[in-house]
Structure 1
Amino acid sequence: MRGLPGSGKSHWVNAFLASHSDGEAIRRRGYFSTDDRFICEGEYRFDASKLSEYHQLNLSGFIQALSRREPVVICDNTNMAHWEFMAYDAAAKAMGYQVRILLIGDPLDKAHQALCAERNQHGLGLRQIQTMASQFQQL
């Protein structure tokens, strides 16, 4: 998954999983989101000092799911720049998986940025969203 916070990545994943009879199994064994690691007692609590550690744990879990041959493995992060998803992409391809990169919304569109600033669940304002959007790299 690729997209700004508030773009609808997780919403898309939820709809995708709901459409599959084994959606809950995929969620438990093949769905990885660094944001989920910041949820404490049902509340999102971002801690910048944990970001690198949590990204590494997320990638490790993703690779473990690949090694278990889970049928569907999803990385739900912003992935604005290539370097952010290169390891996920390389690991999946090395393990023989078909990789699908799905971009939700246009990060460079000003109206989309404003919408993401309004609806993201992380408390990010328009300036922070615009900063993230400026790091976007096309495939």
Structure 2
Amino acid sequence: MRGLPGSGKSYWVEEFINSLPKKNTLQYKVCSTDEFFYKDGEYCFDAKELSKYHQLNLTRFIHAIANKIPLVICDNTNMAQWEFEDYCAAAKSQGYRVQIQQIGEPKDKEHQLLCADRNKHRVPLKSIVRMANVFEPHG
């Protein structure tokens, strides 16, 4: 997944998983660095922990593909190529087909305002604009 906070990445993942055929309950794992910031059910972002939590998320992702879970999703913002290169390389090394799913257009000012308004972690517009400015198109 790729997109600004509040763009709808997690919603897209939930809708996608719910759209899968119910008769063959496909095993899946969603790996999101945000999960590590929850303490007693409350989101508590701490920039000092970000690097460590990203590494823990990548480790969890690699563990899932090593265990041959059929569908493994990285639900992070992934604004720059380097942020998701290791996920892609790990998945491809285990024979997985990789799909990059971008939600919204990070450089679009209206989209940035929408994301600032609806993101559930209260990321301010200033931070969203800063993230959008480092966005690198996939390709």
Q: Sort the TM-score into its range (normalised by shorter chain).
A: over 0.9
Structure with more helix by fraction: 1
Structure 2 partner of 1:49: 48
How many Å apart are 1:126 and its aligned residue? 1.1
Structure 2, unmatched stretches of 5+, are none
Match in the other structure for 2:102: 103
Deviates more, 1:111-120 or 1:36-45: 36-45
Identity of aligned residues (%): 56
Q: Render the CA deviation track for 1:91-115: whole Å, top value 9, x for unaligned.
A: 0111110000000000000000000
String of CA shifts for 1:74-107, please: whole Å, max 9, x gaps: 0000000000000000101111100000000000
Spell out the pairing of 1:107-126 with structure 2 (5 A cutoff): 107-126=106-125
User: Where does residue 4 of structure 2 map in the other structure?
Assistant: 4
Letter in 2 for 1:8: G
User: Secondary structure of the equivalent of 1:73?
Assistant: strand
In the superposition, the TM-score normalised over structure 2's length comes to 0.93
Distance 2:109 2:37 in 1: 28
Q: Establish whether residue 134 from structure 1 lines up as the match of residue 133 from structure 2.
A: yes
Aligned residues: CA RMSD? 1.0
4+ residue stretches of structure 1 with deviation over 6 A? none
Which TM-score applies when normalising by structure 1?
Answer: 0.93
